[in-house]
Amino acid sequence: MTQTAVDPTIQDLDEYGYPTRPDAQRKLRNTVVHTSRRLLLGGISLALRGVGAYLKLRALGQARPPLSPQTFHPKRILVIRVDLIGDLVMSMTVVRQLKRTYPEAEIDLLAIPSSASIVRGDPDITQLLTYDPNIWRRPKALLQTRNWREAQALRQQMRERDYDLAVSVSGPWASILSVLSRAPRRVGFGAEGYPGFMTESVPGRHWAEGERKHEVDYCMELLHACGAALDQESRVPTLHITPKSEQEVADLLQAEGIDPQKPLVACQVSSHNGYAKRWPIPYWARLIERLVNEDGMNVILTGAPKDQPLIEAVLKRTHAHMYNFAGKTNLPQLAALLKHADIVISGDSGPMHIAAAVGSELIAIHGPTDPQMSGPVSPHATVLRSDIWCSPCYFAKGPANCRFHTTQCMKDISPEQVHSAVLSKLEGARTRTQESSQSLQGGNA
């Protein structure tokens, strides 16, 4: 039996599956780590502002044609999104519409290695580049020669592609990488990078104070600056699933002996960007017990190998028979699995956005995060949340953890509410199937 690494954020859990209050030693450690990071990033910021000033001076007097299909004819475009899986999935709207606007151009995507495979094999992406700039967050990273070699290799790879346009979708690292690409035209939110880094600087920034704008709408602003034609349909992220992944999932379901005649419900118990995004463990157990024992459904638990402790905690609380798929699928297979499921239930997580992008019937449980800013963009999604005074409280600054150490916003969403939503979605799907069948029969009459 192979051992899996235990995520430090899920040790010392209370009865709901949330970490206990940090002791003095843990608080001191967190303070030291955060202070060292701020000092390092402050020094980097000062140096890069000097680079930006140089770029701005060099660009003075240069004439640039407007970015539009009539005046701009790029051969290669680089889209940069070095963030978590959910952010990358939503950023596929940029790839899709750039390809639609500039069909002759090759579109490359730069993403972090842990997220990139979710879009591998996508027909709109010519080359998928990977790099994780987060390695530079610790001061000791400056002393490791391997880090410098990897950065130089990426720089060389980008320059060999000879990009005409680089799109910095979010954050200062994306703006830095766009400059390293040497693309003569660079589009991004100027306030998120450094002065002078963007040749087409879009006003504003992600999640400005008091602004409740969805991530895909920020993508739409960047696309508008790139000359793309937009409509409501272009706002919905989509993922491509390869026939290979679909067949692998079909083989896996068959090998597990899952009855194809029963409704299949996929449950994503964990969330990797803050424990407060997780629905309580005993709630999962109560819900699954009803779905399996009362409703006769198949339930599968999805996740990564490091999610095993949380999943084991759910398994211990119920006698219902379910299928543990954590660690058994890679990201492309997970996308195919979620598409195959009749219902997907998840907190605000990467798999939630994957499910939305493949058109799954989705129940998204939100607590600290605002669905108007980061919820699923899909006509098949139902969002459940409690409207308590302190929720939403998360604005993309660090992990989504509860400042009161209660996570009451998630506890207020009962298993009965989620169970009712599952039954309602299944009934709606049956009705649509019957109506479609009747329509076909009428057309053939």
For the chain, the structural domain boundaries read 66-235, 243-440
Q: Return d(Cα 253, Cα 275) in angstroms, integer.
A: 29
* 39-42 long-range Cβ contacts below 8 angstroms, 24+ apart: 39/139, 40/136, 40/137, 40/138, 40/139, 41/137
Angle at 245 (CA atoms; ends 311, 297), nearest 5 degrees: 45
Q: How far apart are CA 323 and CA 46, in angstroms?
A: 52
Full pLDDT tens readout for the chain, 445 residues: 333 333 444 457 777 777 777 777 777 777 766 776 666 666 666 666 666 655 766 666 676 888 999 999 999 999 999 999 999 999 999 999 999 999 999 999 999 999 999 999 999 999 999 999 988 877 788 789 999 999 999 999 999 999 999 999 998 899 999 999 999 999 999 888 888 889 999 998 888 777 889 999 999 999 999 999 888 888 999 999 999 999 999 999 999 999 999 999 999 999 888 888 999 999 999 999 999 999 999 999 999 999 999 999 999 999 899 999 999 999 999 999 999 999 999 999 999 999 999 999 999 999 999 999 999 999 999 999 988 888 888 876 677 888 888 889 999 999 999 999 999 999 987 877 676 666 666 666 5
Class of domain 66-235: alpha beta
Q: Are 66-235 and 243-440 the same fold in CATH?
A: yes
d(CA 247, CA 73) in angstroms, rounded, equals 39
CATH superfamily of 243-440: Glycogen Phosphorylase B; (3.40.50.2000)
